Amino acid sequence: MKALQNLIQDENRWFAITNYPSIGFPLSQSEVDSLARTIDSKLSPENLSEDGEISNAEADRKGEFLNRALDQLEYYAACNNLTVPTVWERW
C-alpha cells in the first residue's frame, strides 16, 4: 500500500494549501472515487509527460507509480466493499 499512501500524502499536501479536506484511512466511497479520478487525470499523456518537459524515462516512472497506486486502490476497495470507477488512461 506504499504507493497509495504516498499518493494520498501528495494529494493532502495540495489540499492543505487550498483548505480542501484531507483524505485519510479508512477511505470512503467518495474518496476512492476522487483518488481514481486523480490517477486517471495524472495518467493522461499531457499530464504524465508534463507536456514534454520531462524525459521518457521519468514519465515511465511516474506512470508505473500511478498504476501501482491504482492497483493498490483497487485491492483496498475490494477488501472494503467499495468500487473503483473506470480509469480510462490506465496502461
- Which sequence spans correspond to the domains of the chain? 2-79
Q: What is the pLDDT of residues 47-74, one digit of tens each?
A: 999 999 999 999 999 999 999 999 999 9
C-alpha cell, 62:
511516474
Global pTM reads 0.92
Average pLDDT over residues 15-31: 94
Q: How far apart are CA 11 and CA 8, in angstroms?
A: 5
The confidence score (pLDDT) of residue 91 equals 82
Q: What is the pLDDT of residues 72-82, one digit of tens each?
A: 999 999 999 99
| Per-residue exposure over 16-53, b if at least 16 CB sit within 10 Å of its own CB, e if not | eeeeeeebeeebeeebbbebbebbbebbeeeebbeeee
Helix (H) or strand (E) holding 33: helix 29-42
Is 4 within 8 Å of 73 (Cβ atoms)?
Answer: yes
